[in-house]
Amino acid sequence: MDAVTKRSIAEFICGDGEGKYPIYRSSFYLTRFFQEIGINATHDGTSRNPWTYSVIEKLSGPDLQKVILRLASPKLYGGDREKIRTAVKTLNAILAIEGLKVNIVGIEPQLIKEKPNYDFSEKETERELKPLPPPDFNRLQLESGISEILQQRWIEIQICIDHNASVSAVIMMGSMLEGFLMGTMQKKPQVANSASNAPKKDGRVKHFADWTLNDMIEVAHEIGWIQLDVKKFSHALRDFRNIIHPYQQLAYRTNPDLDTCKISWLVVQAACNDIAGWLKKNEN
């Protein structure tokens, strides 16, 4: 199983992100989860996601299957239908790339093989990503001061790329995308909050400050701020952005090269121009 898939499973187990995952697990419950299915792992107090990935990374065959089936088990969620639905939907989205799927038969989850299908041609046509000029941030009437910051970051990203500072560049790209999305949400709060996939807590949409970049990307695509191709690649950029923390980069075992950096830059350029185009069409 690919390392990216295992990392997604680890994130599922930790459960950060209300609405995306059915259960949040603290240190005690991470240990309990593994030990209840016969895997000898005790959380050592370090960051939860990297630690959980370190456990999942070593698993294969029957033990990895135990983890997957337990995450889909209705028994784990006490029969809560909403949590079960969320678990199966999210887990199958993770497993699809591996040609796997979880079905619930009665109260027992089953892991089956399924041919992956990533043909989006019937819904949306992907475009060729090309270098684009920066949008005119000053004309978008965002919150005071943010336009100047975004303009400066665009310039600094290009400087990083020109000098082969790939890690710095992708971190800046992620922060720029997040900043532009946040600025657009602040400008159009009713539009963002009305999205069906807007993150919620206790039945109410969270304050924008509590949204993750993942939340912003998903909502931005649903309400038409960014196209499908940008959404998909933005999630990859989000993962790279997380390596701003050195130990996160160590856990991911990744070091983006210049080619990855240039591709990510095309994604950010496309995203910014998509958003700017939407704002111009919806100025009132």
**3 state SS of 156:** helix
pLDDT per residue over 53-102, tens digit each?
A: 999 998 888 899 999 999 999 999 888 888 888 888 888 888 888 888 88
**Site of tokens 């135990």:** 66
Which residue's structure tokens are 């196209």?
227
**Within 10 A of 67 (CB to CB), how many other CB atoms are there?**
21
22 has pLDDT over 60: yes
Give the mean pLDDT of the chain.
85
pLDDT score, position 280: 87
Residue type, 117: N
pTM value > 0.85: no
Spell out the domain ranges in the chain.
3-113, 137-281
Please say whether the beta carbons of 206 and 162 come within 8 A.
no
Q: How far is CA 71 from CA 15, 87, 112, 275, 284, in A?
A: 11, 7, 15, 36, 46
82 contacts: CB under 8 Å, gap ≥ 6: 22
- Mind listing the pLDDT tens digit for each residue in 147-160? 999 999 999 999 99
So what's the pLDDT on residue 142?
A: 87
Q: Which CATH architecture is the domain 137-281 placed in?
A: Up-down Bundle (1.20)
